[in-house]
Structure 1
Amino acid sequence: MLDKTRLETLPATPDWSEPTRRLGLADAFARFAADAAERDVERRPIHAEVQELKAAGYGAVRLPTELGGAGLSLPDLFGLTRDLATADSNVAHVFRNHFHAVEQHLRTPDEPFSARLLDLARQGRMFGVAFSEVTRDPAGGRGTVPAAELAWSEAEGRYRISGTKIYSTGNMYADHLMVSARSGRTGEATAFLVGTEAEGVRLEDDWDGFGQKLTGSGRTVFDRVPVMETDLFTPPAQGPDSYGYTFHQIYLTTIVSGVVQRILIDAINLVRGRSRNYYHGLADHPRQEPEIQSVIGRIAGYRSAVIGTVERAIAALDEAWLAAGTPDAHELSVQATIAAAEAKLVTDEVAATLASLLIDVASGSGVSVRNAFDRHWRNIKVIAAHNPRIYKERVVGDFHLNGTLPPTGAFF
C-alpha cells in the first residue's frame, strides 16, 4: 500500500527514459540536475559535464554498433535529449549541431568525408558549426551569406580563412567545427572542417542572452586559419522532399519539454518543502491547500500534453526518415515538419505559462536568486526565440486551409 506520509517527504525525481537507464546515464544526469541552478547563477561553463558525456560515448549513441556506437533509434535519441534537458537544458542544447551532423552523414557512411566524421564521433569528438554571419543577403535583405573567404595560397599549398561567425552554439565545448565560407577561387559557398584548437581559431563567450547562458553561443573568429584542401566537403543535400531541418526544430522543442518536466519536479519539491501556509488559506500545510493542489494538477496535466505532442512529432519524423527513397517519402516528410511546427506552437506557449505557475506555488520561498527558478522561463523563451512561433502559426494555418507546403529552409 502507498505510504502517503512518506510520499509527502520524498523528493520528486525524474522518471528517466529506458535508453537513459540502459546506457547508465541516469546518475550523471541526476548530478547535472543537482548543480544546474548554481551553474546558472555563477555563469559557470559546463566543460566538465560535456567532457563526461563525451567520455561516455554520448555523441556516438546514434552510430550503429558495427561503427562503434550504441545503435539507438531516433526516438531513443530524443528520449535521451529530453532527460538531459530535464537535468540541464544548456547541456542538452550544445549537442544539437553535433547530432544533426551525425544524422546527415549517417545517410552516406561510405563517402570518405562522412566516414571520417563518423569515426571522429566514435572517438568521442564533438562537432560545432560556424555558419551565421552579420552580412545580409544583398538580393533580399534577409538571411545570411558567407562573407568569410577561403584564400588559396600556392606557396603554402593550402587555404587560409579569416572572418567572424555569430550564434556559435556549443562551439566552446566542441572539438571540430563545420564552417561555411566563400571560395577565393570560384566565389561560391563551400564548407570545411577545422579543429577548435587550430592556429587562428578564437571562441568567444560573449553570448549575452538572458537564458541558455552556458551554451557558449557567442562569436567564432577565424584569423588566417589554415585549411587543407582535404578538409573541404560538400554538405549532404537536404532536398525539397527531405525537410532535413525538421530535426533541428524537434530537437529544440524536445529540450523545452525537458524543462517542463523539471518545472513539475521543482514545483512538487517546493510545495512538499513548505511548512507554512497563508493565514487565509484553507489548510494547515501548502501541500493540503486545494488551490495549490489544483495548480500542481494543471502543471502535471500540461506536462503530459507537451510530452505527448512532442512525441507525436518525433514519431512522424522517424517514419519519414525510415521511408527515405520510397514513393511515400515526400508526403511523410511534410507531415513530419507540420507535426514539428504544431508541437512547437503548443509547447512554447504552454511551457512559459507553466514556468510562471512554478513561482505561484512557491510563493516567497521561490524567488531566491540562489534557487534560480526563473531560469526555466528564461531558458524556454530563449530556445523558443530560435524560430518564433508567430511565424510558424501562419504557415501551419496556410497548410491546413490551402495545402500550401511549408518552406524547406533551416528555420522550418
Structure 2
Amino acid sequence: MLRWILFVIVYLAMGLYTLQALRSATRYPWMYYLYMILALLILGNFIYQFTVGDETGRVLNRPKSYAFGFLIAIITFNLITIFFLFSEDIYRLLIGGYRRLFGDEREFSLPERRRFLSLIALGLASLPFGALLYGMYRGKYRFRVLNYDLEFKDLPEEFHNYTITQISDVHSGSFDNRKKIEYGVSLINKQKSDVILFTGDLVNNKTSEMEPWADLFATLEAPDGKYSVLGNHDYGDYIPWDTEEAKAQNLEDLKALQRQMGFDLLLNENRYLKKGGGKIALIGVENWGRGGFKKAGDLKKASEGIAPADFKILLSHDPSHWEDKVIHDDLHYHLTLSGHTHGMQFGIEIPGWVKWSPVKWRYKYWAGIYEELGQFINVNRGFGFLGYPGRVGIWPEITVIRLRKTGKA
C-alpha cells in the first residue's frame, strides 16, 4: 500500500510540474484541463488494472499491458518536460542567490525565456510520447524481413544457397489483431525458405494463449520442415499455479501443441538436414539464460552423436548462452540462432549508420548478426511483443539467412 501512495505522490508532482510548462507555453485553459484529465485517466486505469482488475497478481494481460504502455508514454512526456524546466529553475535559483548575496534586490524574472523553454520542452517531449503511442497502434505489427548472406568455408556444397527463415518470441498471449497476424504468417511463407526455425517463447505463460492462433501457425510450410526450441516464457515460470502438477501439465500441453502445429520440437537433441550427399547438424537446446533465467539447456546432451567435422546450426533462445558457453565449447558451432531480447522493443536503427537500444546495456549481442572466433550468431528481434504493447524503432522481425560456400558462385 505504501508503494502505491508514494507512486501516486511522485506521479502527481511530476504532473504539476508539467502543468507549469503548459501554462507558460499557452494561454488556452482547455489545454491545461485536457492534460489533467488525460493524466488522471491514465493513472486511474493503471491503478485499477494492477489492483482490482480482472486478473490481479503477476499475470500481465492485455488491459494491464495497455495501462502500462500509456503510463510509460505520459511519464516519458513528463520527464523530458521536467528536465528542461528544472534546469531553468536551478539557473533562476543560482542567479537569485547570487544577487541576494551581493545586495542586489532587483527581481529576477525572464518570462519570455521561461515561455521559450517551455515550448522547446513540450515540443521535444511530444516526440517520444507520440512515438510510444504509434508503437502501440501500428509499430507492434510493422513486420519486416531482414536478409543476410553468410559464407562458410566448410559448408557442404549441396547446401550452397540454402535458405533459412528464423522467427522468435511469438508471445501469442499479447496478440490482439488476427488480420495482422495472418499477414505476418503469410509473409513468413512468402519467403519460401528451405527450412523454418523457431527459437522460443511461443506464449507469455500458458498454452491456452496459443490455441486461438495455432491454426494460423500450422499453415507455415517449408520443404525441409519446421523446427523449434523452448524459451524462458514457455515454462510458465512467471505466474502462480494452483499446483506443480498443473504447471507441469501446461508445459506438456505446449509441447504437444507445437507438434500438432507441425513443429519438430528439439529438447536438448539434434537432427540432420540432408541434401544429396551432404548434411547439416541441427541442434536444439532448452532455455539457458544468464542472470536468473532458467538453465535447462544441456549443450553436451544436445550434441551427442554430432561429429566435430559436421556443419552445425544451433537453436538456443537466449544469446547469453552463446556468449557464455557456446563460442568457447570444444565443438565449433558455425551458426547459432537466438532471440529473447526483443531489442527491448525500443531503439533507433538506421542501417549502416545507427543501431542502438537500451537493451545493449544488458546484452552484448542483442540484435542482428555477430561473429566471434569464427562462429556466427543471429539474434532475432522477435515476432511478437511483451510488457509494453508496442514497438518503437525496433520492428517485429522475420529473418532470412542464405548459407553460401566460400568461393562458390
Structure 1 or 2: more helix by fraction: 1
TM-score, normalised via structure 2 length:
0.25
Structure of greater relative contact order (alpha carbons < 8 Å, 6+ residues apart): 2
Task: State which structure, 1 or 2, has the greater radius of gyration over its C-alpha atoms.
Answer: 2
